[in-house]
Structure 1
């Protein structure tokens, strides 16, 4: 396209880039990563953007540049089966993890022993991962979810919640799994490990300093 004829400049909408365009209807791809790991995108579907003689068309309610992703549907059959399997699996995990964490937290013989503290943090990361997965599924993904439009609007609340689930909690879970192995190795190498040294594990795995 001749850049001299383009009215709408090249832009990034938060999900993908659009080249400079002349006034009219502009089609874009549906980024595969917006569907998550469990969904299968339909390659024939497209996102849509409008270019007017004054620039990219904005959403009236927000007065911000807008891309229509409502056409980016997914292949439903396999996606729904995987989504249902994930909901069942994480629901069972949450039900089983809750009493386990309760025992590790409120039984005094286990509460202050370093090994059980590491166990408790690992199980807590699993629990929060399950809770965030279930919340995001029922609030954003399932049919008729109250926040389903927020996904296509790329709303900040949607991005933040999925960032916590897919990045922070996933990283924390794998970090605590590594911490379990490292702590057990150190325990085999030494008969006495001061519980205060767990601070470094808490810092690296959670990014903060919890008390226990």
Structure 2
């Protein structure tokens, strides 16, 4: 397997090898006076000084891959003065498996499983929601179109996360090779992640505009929503990708496939924080407007039209989703340090809230939507009672024909 080292990695390796050569020369000169020994060597990451025969050398694990720098890696020097030989690889080989924290590794795998299950459930719910809104043509309006774009962004984001975990996270070969396609997948993934927040902002703007400026053209408003909902994420990642590829490749530690959060991730967080903050402002003003309309409504003796049931439902759904979508960023400052007792709890809560956001979107904007429920019930009644209605109609027509044929047409007997 060919590994593409960055120029910075090559410089680090050259420096380590130069330092290792000095250590080896010093240790070899001393040990040569006391009998057989294994000559020092540099394996690409760790420097192994000359070691007396029959002893086991140890080093701190290198800070690469999933290795724990606090653990030790061992290299045995045989009695004949040769390093231990591994028949499977047909060469002298350093066993770095001790560098992996098995318990932590298993926990990370469980966290990945939680993410995958949550994203899978959310994806199914979102696809069902899109199918319902597409099937019932009578539901088509600007508000439903905004909902459908929100569902689409979440569905694509969930699908891309599933690809990311299956193709990149658990494949060390892909991470070490650092191919272009995995970095492209990273950029596309975060494009749709940001679109989740931008379309939630569109939900808030649309609701605010309809309630405050009732005479605005919905077609024009929808065009603005489309430009805003997809334009914000595309603009953000079009800045993020070139900046990180040019400046971050050699400075971001463990930057294979850009899997680690580098300093350039702040570029991605800026639009997310802004959209959540603007949505909070819009929702506060929407509540203020609705309270005014409710006071001036006919029920209170005013001349105002009051607030519609649809507006109240949309407001409730939006108010529930905004804090939910921003929960991950609210929890970020409280992230426990590594090996902290609360680290596992934090990771589980974070995995569940992030992966089930799509399910919550589908429930609040589709499955609990009164219009959608009414359409589904109407369709269900039509399917269930259509054969029975046809049977009654046929029977009634048959009886009428029989009665008419049994009585004279002069009207002496009327039915």
TM-score category of the 2 structures, normalised to the smaller one: 0.5 to 0.7
The answer as to 2:175 corresponding to 1:151 is yes
1:179/1:201 contact within 8 Å kept: yes
Deviations, residues 40-93 of structure 1 (Å, cap 9, x unaligned): x73448xxxxxxxxxxxxxxxxxxxxxxxx989673122111111111101100
Question: Unaligned stretches of 5+ in structure 2?
Answer: 1-5, 19-41, 46-61, 72-95, 233-415
**Structure 1 runs not aligned, ≥5 long:** 1-9, 36-40, 46-69
1:191 is displaced (CA, Å) by 2.1
Question: Of 132, 140, 154, which residue of structure 2 is paired with 1:103?
Answer: 132
CA distance in 1 between counterparts of 2:184 and 2:196 reads 18
Match of 1:115 among 120, 127, 143: 143
- Higher helix proportion, which one? 2
Residue number among 181, 185, 201 corresponding to 2:208 in the alignment: 185
Matched, 1:42 2:68: yes
State the Cα RMSD in Å: 3.3
Counterpart residue number, 1:203:
227
TM-score of the superposition, structure 2-length normalised?
0.34
**Is 1:126 matched with 2:151?**
no
Is it true that 1:92 corresponds to 2:121 in the alignment?
yes
User: Under a length normalisation based on structure 1, what TM-score does the superposition of the two structures give?
Assistant: 0.63
Moved more, 18-27 or 87-96: 18-27
Over residues 110-129 of structure 1, what are the superposed CA-to-partner deviations in whole Å (9 max), with x where a residue is unaligned?
Answer: 23x11111111111111011
Quick one: distance in 1 between partners of 2:226 and 2:12?
42
Give the alignment of 1:8-87 within 5 angstroms: 11-12=7-8, 18=12, 21=15, 23=17, 25=42, 27=45, 29-30=63-64, 42-44=68-70, 75-87=104-116
Number of matched residues?
160
Return 153-162 or 70-79, whichever deviates more.
70-79
Q: Is the 8 A contact 1:11 1:19 kept in 2?
A: no
Helix, strand or coil at the partner of 2:167: helix
